[in-house]
Structures are given as structure tokens and as C-alpha cells.
Amino acid sequence: SAPARAPVAFPASLAPAVGGPGLFATIDTLADLDGFDPAHVDGVGLVRTEFLFTHAAEALSEERHLAVYRRLLAALGGKPVTLRLLDLGGDKALPGLAEGDPAAVLGLRGVRFLLAHPDLARIQARALMRAAALGPLSVLLPMVTVPAELEAMALLFEEEAARLARQGVEARLPPLGIMVEVPAAALTLDLFPQAAFFSVGTNDLMQYLAAAARDNPAVAPLCAGAETAMFRLLDHICASARALGRPVSLCGDLAARPEAAGRLRALGFDGLSVPPGQIEAVRAALAGAAPNSPPGRG
């Protein structure tokens, strides 16, 4: 029989309204593990797996994936780790598999790329399910636009889970959540009851909301100017996630800006995931923004 589905590991155990959002680390490379003390965070909120592999042969090796995921879980010592499926295409390249192509920002990237390359997706899914048997691991799908993409990826995981079971390989179906970084998804979270959790990617969400490339300094002021639109959408996202009873966190660069911590806390996010170098600044800002903190701080 197929392996049992693991309970949601991230971050359902946290109590947002009372204690404020949990604080999670964002990891791009294994070297980032040296930048923080796992004892001082609630877990890892985002692993950008596309940066863990330097060339196609690595990314096509199930054993290589598994070795890296094992190391991440071991380093976190039992705390939850949320890994994102390869977000290839667009600005993110992996030599031999996907070349960097700014035009693909509106094309085959993220989950679209993976569904177009199911052999690659199956390798990563198998390794993630084998790792999920070893610790609290959740999986995020990048660039989801419509529910059919989540349904197709969930089916792919279930097929590989059944295959692993037939092969006698220990594995577990992890909770599958989606990145909320495409406006169409952000406005329709109620159509995603199959998602175990949500994580907002404000870097891409802002790029698509303001029609302003995230890496083009000439249009950077538009992203600042569109902040009102962004916060209205964040409010809608948090309310929709609450209505569905699903945890919602924020893992875009906005989470790492201490001056935004008070507003993000007030919106009711369950977790913020930030690069190791920003963890302490965001922690201090969240503490300053707590309802019972002394006036004049945060």
C-alpha cells in the first residue's frame, strides 16, 4: 500500500494571533546553514533547491538529492524544513537543464517547467519522499497559477509513492503547499483546498503585480510605489488562508525588512522566512511590534 501522508509540519503548531509569526530561515546553499543557530529559529521556511545543484548530472541524480536533503534535516535537528521544488526557467538557470532566459519569466518556469519535464520532477519527488521518512519535511510548488498544476503534481507524487512502496523503499508523502507569487493564484486561494499550506513570494508577486521586472533598477521605484496594492493583496491572501484553515507564511524579501515586521505581524502571517543574516534584525522588530511591547519601539 502507498505510504501514509505525513501531518503538516510547517507551521501549523504555531499560534499566530497570540505569539506573532514564527521565524524561519531561508536557505539557498548548504553554506547558509553556517549562518544561524537552528536552536534559535522555528525551522527552515524555504530551501531554494535550484541553487543546491550546480549542473544537470547532479539534479538528475535521486541519490544526490537525497544526500543533500538528509544533510538539511540533520542540521535542523528535528525542526521542520520546507523545500521548494526546482524553480527553473526564467531568471534561474541550471546548466544543461535550463538556461537563464529573462523572457521565460512569463513562460515555462517553476511548476510549469517541471510538469513539462516530468522525468526531472519524478527524481526530485522520489528523493523528497525518501527524505520525508527521516524528518519533518514539507514541499512547496513554485509559480503555481491554477489548481490543476497542484493536482497534477500531487498525482505525480502519489504515483512515485506507490512505486517506492512496490520497491520496498521507505518513503512518506509530505504535505504539499504552494508558493503564492502569481496574482491569479493569490486572488483565488479558495480554489486550492488541496494545498496543505501557503507561502507568499513577494519578489515575484510584486514583479507580476506591478509589471516591473524584479531585477531592473530602472523600474524599481514602481515596486515601491505599488506597495499599497501589495498590502491589499497580502490582506486578502491571509484572510483566504484563514478561511481555508491553512497556515500561511511569507518567504519573499519583504519578510526580511525589519520595518515591515509590524504590518506583517498585524496581517496574521503564521511564519516569516528570512535569510540567515536578517534573522536577528527581524526577531527584534517583531518583538518591538508585539501588542504588549513598550510604546515607542518597533
Could you list the residues that contact Mg ion (CB under 5 A)? Answer: 181, 201, 204
User: From ligand PEP, Mg ion, none, which one binds at residue 252 (CB under 5 to 8 Å depending on kind)?
Assistant: ligand PEP
Q: Which three cell numbers stand for residue 296?
A: 515607542
Q: Which of residues 164-183 bind ligand PEP (CB under 6 A)?
A: 181
Binder of ligand PEP out of 16, 252, 258, 276 (CB under 6 A): 252
> Do residues 198 and 180 lie in contact, with contact meaning Cβ atoms separated by under 8 Å?
yes
- Minimum CB separation of residue 235 from ligand PEP in Å reads 17
Give the residue with the Cβ less far from Mg ion, 78 or 100. 100
Give the residue with the Cβ less far from ligand PEP, 160 or 181. 181
- Minimum CB separation of residue 172 from ligand PEP in Å reads 25
Give the residue with the Cβ less far from ligand PEP, 32 or 204. 204
For ligand PEP, which residue has the nearest CB?
201
Q: Is the peptide bond before 11 cis (omega within 30 degrees of 0)?
A: yes
- Minimum CB separation of residue 87 from Mg ion in Å reads 6
Q: Which of residues 182-221 bind ligand PEP (CB under 6 A)?
A: 201-204
Q: Which three cell numbers stand for residue 116?
A: 513539462
Dihedral of CA atoms 99, 100, 102, 108 in degrees, nearest 10, equals 50
User: From ligand PEP, Mg ion, none, which one binds at residue 65 (CB under 5 to 8 Å depending on kind)?
Assistant: none
User: From Mg ion, ligand PEP, none, which one binds at residue 251 (CB under 5 to 8 Å depending on kind)?
Assistant: ligand PEP
Does position 48 interact with ligand PEP (CB under 6 A)? The reply is yes
For Mg ion, which residue has the nearest CB?
204
Where on the chain is the footprint of ligand PEP (CB under 6 A)?
48, 87, 181, 201-204, 251-252
